Chain A
Amino acid sequence: MIGQFRAELLKIRSTRTTVGVVLGMIGIILLFSLLTGLLTKTPHLVSTGDQRNLLGVGDFAGVFSALAGIMAVTSEYRYGTIRPTFLFTPRRTRVLGAKVAAGLLAGAVFGVVGGGLGFGIGYACLAGRGIDFALDGRQIALLLFSTVAGAALWGAVGVGVGAIIRSQVGAIIGLLAWGFVAENLIFGFLPGLGRFGPVHAQDALVEFTTKHLLGPAPGGLVLVAWAAALSVLGTAVAIRRDVD
């Protein structure tokens, strides 16, 4: 099992795909942190909640760790390495379990990088504009922890989605369409339902000030449930389906 986990980490490290995803993440977080930090009017950057919204832009890491999770599964199907992978480890539960674990770890690393970057830029913007810092140490620690934990869980979500959909393009489009369109529509019309979606659970986890969100702890639990359910479903699908 440890060997399988190491193998999955090596797969993630040994292509340039991961580097590309990390660079994309850094670019997006840089852009949004700077735009929010420089263009938001001062009165909207004073309260604890407003500052948390700025300093938490690094939670975008979740999108990218989900992409990395999707890649970890779908590139195996796309390039056929799933065949040698399953020949070496015919117990597919073990392969998928190792992928989920690797997705969690890779996602956590994304969270550290993205969360740290978002926090650093946000802090620099506040300091540069002479705005008093409103978060205490505990709140900062919680924000960074929830960003890292959220990004880790999104890595597992990505593995699950990739295993269910298998097509790389299909899984990526599916993820983005759900995250940026479908779930927002559901949340807009039926907030009582939409807040249980994974994206809004993530927003709740990092305590964004959007109305109707769950509390941070329930939000975190809902996100854990999504990651667990999709991982289990993805594994079940991978076990049942023939490999071409």
Chain B
Amino acid sequence: MTLPGRSVADAHVVRAESLTKRFGGVVAVDDLSFELQQGTITGFLGPNGAGKTTTLRMLLGLATPTSGRAFLFGRPYAELAEPSRRVGAVLEATDFHPGRSGRDHLRMLAEAVDLPHSRVEEVLRLVELQEAARRRVKTYSLGMRQRLGLAAALLGDPELLILDEPANGLDPGGVRWLRDFLRAFAADQRTVLISSHVLAEVAQTVDVVLIINHGKLVTESSLEQLTHRTAGSVRVRTPASASLAEALSRAGIQFSAGENETVLVYGTTSEQVGDIAFAANVPIHELVSEGSSLEEVFLGLTEERAA
């Protein structure tokens, strides 16, 4: 299925350089820069209204940035020679004429870029819609529409998939189907960018997370690193936070200072923190193990910047 002449030399499949988008006085995306490496699945996360969709629209040339630039495979999207053979994207699950059949929807897109009708049938099989292909889209369930959108994105057999909130409205079976599909897609050294406002939805799928809030990049890390922040976070209340901080630093343990004489210690256990404090002669007034969930970390990251 791989088309010839595919460049694997581009280190960055996607590259956003200081992307900024203003709507009147509102800054939807604010000086956003990031890069995607080939073969990774990146979760593009943030609460609703954080600027995810606007960013994706700018990457894909549907919206013009107020300032900054976006490159896919080293070029602005509109300047790619055959964009549908490099990039497949689904921005809305409902981008169909309700009175048109699923097959005709795919055919009109295939015609525009001279893809053969046989390719339409291939992607219909791939997303398991060949039975319903003759029916008009208004008879489709939301899950079927999601798959039809995905089929359209896959028509050109692209190297990069960009999906905006693909899990919205999918039942658990559909979510698992999508996860397996994206895993197989990325295993072939292809790249995926999926947005979501719910981390848990994509946590089992993605390798890397980009978290944005109010149009700004809040966190860029591997899912592994993010998961570390959940494991054994310990809240310590002590009148000698400076001494504790020093002792923790010596032990190479990550922490951050909280309010009211508290210190948050990451990636460790309450026993270890207690032992370190005892050895450093630090009095402890409270020691609480806080096994926060991934979702809590996500919410914490997006809320602390909200102020």
Q: Which residues of A contact B (CB under 8 A)?
A: 3-4, 6-7, 10-11, 14-17, 75, 79-81, 83-91, 242-244
Contact = CB atoms under 8 A, between A and B. Distances in A.
A226 to B, nearest CB: 28
B78 A91 contact: yes
A86 B63 CA distance: 11
A17 B109 contact: no
Interface stretch (B86-94, B205-213, B288-296): B86-94
Contacts of B84: 87-88
B60 A7 contact: no
8 nearest A-B residue pairs (beta carbon): A80-B95, A7-B112, A90-B78, A7-B111, A14-B104, A242-B63, A243-B62, A15-B99
B101 A84 contact: no
Given A88-B84, A242-B63, A243-B63, A14 B95 contact: no
- Of B63, B96, B108, B114, the most chain A CB neighbours within 10 A belong to B108
Contact of A83 (B78, B91, B97, B99): B91
B57 interface: yes
Interface in B63-101: 63-64, 77-78, 80, 83-84, 87, 89, 91-92, 94-101
Contacts, number: 83
Contact of B92 (A10, A83, A85, A91): A83
Nearest to A87: B89
Given A75-B97, A81-B95, A91-B78, A86 B112 contact: no
B98 A88 contact: no
Given A14-B101, A242-B62, A242-B64, A80 B109 contact: no
A84 B88 CA distance: 9
A9 B96 CA distance: 17
B113 interface: yes
Interface string B188-228: 00000000000000000000000000000000000000000
28 contacts: A3-B112, A4-B111, A4-B112, A6-B111, A7-B109, A10-B104, A10-B108, A10-B111, A11-B100, A11-B108, A14-B97, A14-B100, A15-B97, A17-B99, A79-B94, A81-B96, A83-B95, A84-B95, A84-B152, A86-B62, A87-B60, A87-B84, A88-B83, A88-B84, A89-B112, A89-B113, A90-B83, A243-B62
B242 to A, nearest CB: 52
Contacts of B63: 242-243
A75 B64 CA distance: 23
A88 to B, nearest CB: 5
Nearest to B92: A80
Contacts of B114: 3
Contacts of A4: 111-112
A11 B87 CA distance: 23
B107 interface: yes
B300 interface: no
- Of A86, A89, A90, the most chain B CB neighbours within 10 A belong to A90
B48 to A, nearest CB: 15
Give the interface residue-count category, chain B.
20 to 34
A16 B107 CA distance: 17
A225 B92 CA distance: 38
Main secondary structure, interface of A, reads: helix
A84 B109 contact: yes
Contacts of B83: 87-88, 90
- Of A15, A87, A244, the most chain B CB neighbours within 10 A belong to A87
A7 B108 contact: yes
Nearest to B83: A90
A87 B94 CA distance: 15
Nearest to B91: A83
B108 A90 contact: no
Given A6-B112, A242-B62, 6 more contacts: A3-B112, A83-B95, A87-B87, A90-B80, A242-B63, A243-B63
Nearest to B111: A7
A243 to B, nearest CB: 4
B69 to A, nearest CB: 15
A244 B54 CA distance: 8
- Of A16, A17, A81, A86, the most chain B CB neighbours within 10 A belong to A81
Nearest to B137: A79
A90 B109 CA distance: 12
A87 B96 CA distance: 14
Contacts of B96: 79-81
Given A14-B101, A83-B92, A3 B57 contact: no
A244 B21 CA distance: 13
Contacts of A242: 57, 62-64
B112 A88 contact: yes
Nearest to A82: B95
Contacts of B49: none
A133 to B, nearest CB: 43
B61 interface: yes
Nearest to A2: B114
A206 to B, nearest CB: 33
A3 B113 contact: yes
